[in-house]
Structure 1
Amino acid sequence: MAWTSLVLAGLFEMFGVAMINKLHRDRNWKSLVLLVLGFGASFVLLSYAMETLPMGTAYAIWTGIGASGGAILGILLYGESKNWKRLVFIAMVLGAAIGLKLTS
């Protein structure tokens, strides 16, 4: 259950990052509320996962999902660069997170 919570925490982190961009564009209360709810859910789920998983592993995977997921959302939704080098480094971050899971 801790790993499921950790992955969900990372997905909510991605959602929160997307809401930062939306708030920057729209400047409305709905975007702000969604941003706070997204990051709030992310922190609650991360905290739950850290009751079982080592702090270093949980934090590394959480930030890896959030960072790589945010970059992927930027590519898919906001027209950010699809440069092959960028994609390789995103894959490396995801590979490192998977490696931590396999060794934990």
Structure 2
Amino acid sequence: MGWVFLLFAGLFEVVGVVGMNQINKHKNIKAYLLFIVGIVMSFALLSQAMRTIPMGTSYAVWTGIGTVGGAVAGMLFYGESKDWKRILFIMMVLSAAVGLKLIS
């Protein structure tokens, strides 16, 4: 169950990052709520995950999901570069997170 908590913690981190970007663009209550809910849920779920998954592994996978998710959200919704080299390195981060799951 810890890995499910960790996956959702990473996804909510992406929600928080999208909210942060929305704050920079719009500065409205919806953007602030998106940011706050994303970050609070992310930390709460990360805390739950760390009850069964070692701290180092949890943190590495959580930041990896957030990094990949933030980069992909930027490419899909905010017109960021989709250069093949960028995608290659995003895949490397993702493969490292999967590797940590496989050896844990």
Distance in 1 separating the partners of 2:25 and 2:8: 26
Give ranges in structure 2 of 5+ residues lacking alignment: none
Counterpart in the other structure of 1:19: 19
**1:79 partner SS:** coil
Counterpart in the other structure of 2:89: 89
Identity of aligned residues (%): 57
Following superposition, the deviation at residue 16 of structure 1 comes to 0.5
TM-score (norm 1): 0.98
Following superposition, the deviation at residue 89 of structure 1 comes to 0.3
Counterpart in the other structure of 2:4: 4
**Which residue identity lines up with residue 28 of structure 1 in the other structure?**
N
Instruction: Please list, as runs of the form range in 1=range in 2, the aligned pairs for 1:53-64 lying within 5 A after superposition.
Output: 53-64=53-64
Divergent runs of 4+, >6 A: none
Note if 1:32 corresponds to 2:32.
yes
CA RMSD across the alignment: 0.5
**Which residue identity lines up with residue 96 of structure 2 in the other structure?**
A
**2:53 partner SS:** coil
Distance in 2 separating the partners of 1:57 and 1:20: 26
Can you list the C-alpha shifts for 1:72-100, whole angstroms capped at 9, x where unaligned? 00000001001111000000000000000
Following superposition, the deviation at residue 30 of structure 1 comes to 1.7
TM-score (norm 2): 0.98
**1:23 partner SS:** helix
Following superposition, the deviation at residue 29 of structure 1 comes to 1.4
Alignment size in residue pairs = 104
Following superposition, the deviation at residue 6 of structure 1 comes to 0.1
Give ranges in structure 1 of 5+ residues lacking alignment: none
**Which residue identity lines up with residue 15 of structure 1 in the other structure?**
V
